[in-house]
């Protein structure tokens, strides 16, 4: 079971840093976590909001995290767009966008809702192992014949 905000606030940043160490910017994120816990208690009676709009009012919560919370925490539809989802969706030619937020909005209008929650999981591992940012492994790609390779200048 996840710790309640009251319990988290009993920890010092160093304790949280040790717990989240593998995450990038762990020191900054530890302080942000404590700030979010204070905010949850002050504004939401200790409850984690279940809407993207409410989550976005928390300092340190962006669209990707807000979508992740509503999809994984509440089972509501949402599309988590990280660097992999943004890059691959554009590389395939499925969307034509300039940043992750535009990609999210384009996908909301185009991708059938039943695929929203699983889309991120599907593309993250694929983007880390096959469709990498520089010199993607197109020779290993199971969807190479469908890919428009937009922006790909060198491939393996």
30: left (phi over 0), alpha (psi -120 to 50) or beta: alpha
Catalytic residue among 39, 50, 82, 110: 82
The sign of the CA dihedral 13, 15, 16, 22 is positive
| Number of residues written out for the chain | 156
Reported as a single tens digit per residue, the pLDDT across 70-118 is 999 999 999 999 999 999 999 999 999 999 999 999 999 999 999 999 9
Percent of the chain residues past pLDDT 70, beyond the cut: 98
| 125 pLDDT above the threshold of 60 | yes
Instruction: Please report the domains of the chain, with CATH numbers, ordered by start residue.
Output: 5-47 (no CATH), 62-156 (1.10.1670.10)
Catalytic residue among 10, 29, 64, 121: 64
- Indicate if 64 belongs to the active site: yes
Reported as a single tens digit per residue, the pLDDT across 48-62 is 999 999 999 999 999
Q: Which residues contact 74 (CB under 8 A, 6 or more apart)?
A: 50
Comparing 1-5, 22-26, 59-63, which segment has the lowest mean pLDDT? Answer: 1-5
- Indicate if 10 belongs to the active site: no
Report angle CA 57, 60, 65 to the nearest 5 degrees: 85
pLDDT for 2 equals 62
Q: How far apart are CA 73 and CA 116, in angstroms?
A: 15
| 1 pLDDT above the threshold of 70 | no
């Amino acid at each position: 079971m996840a710790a309640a905000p009251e319990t988290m606030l009993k920890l010092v940043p160093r304790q949280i840093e040790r717990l989240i160490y593998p995450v990038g910017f762990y020191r900054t994120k530890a302080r942000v976590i404590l700030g979010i816990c204070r905010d949850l208690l002050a504004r939401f009676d200790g409850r984690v909001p279940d809407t993207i709009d409410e989550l976005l009012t928390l300092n340190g919560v962006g669209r990707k995290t807000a979508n992740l919370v509503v999809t994984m925490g509440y089972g509501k539809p949402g599309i988590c767009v990280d660097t992999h989802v943004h890059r691959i969706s554009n590389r395939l030619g499925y969307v034509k966008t300039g940043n992750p937020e535009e990609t999210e909005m384009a996908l909301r209008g185009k991708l059938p809702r039943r695929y929203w929650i699983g889309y991120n999981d599907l593309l993250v591992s694929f983007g880390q192992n096959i469709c990498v940012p520089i010199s993607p492994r197109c020779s290993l790609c199971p969807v190479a014949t469908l890919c428009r390779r937009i922006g790909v200048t060198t491939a393996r």
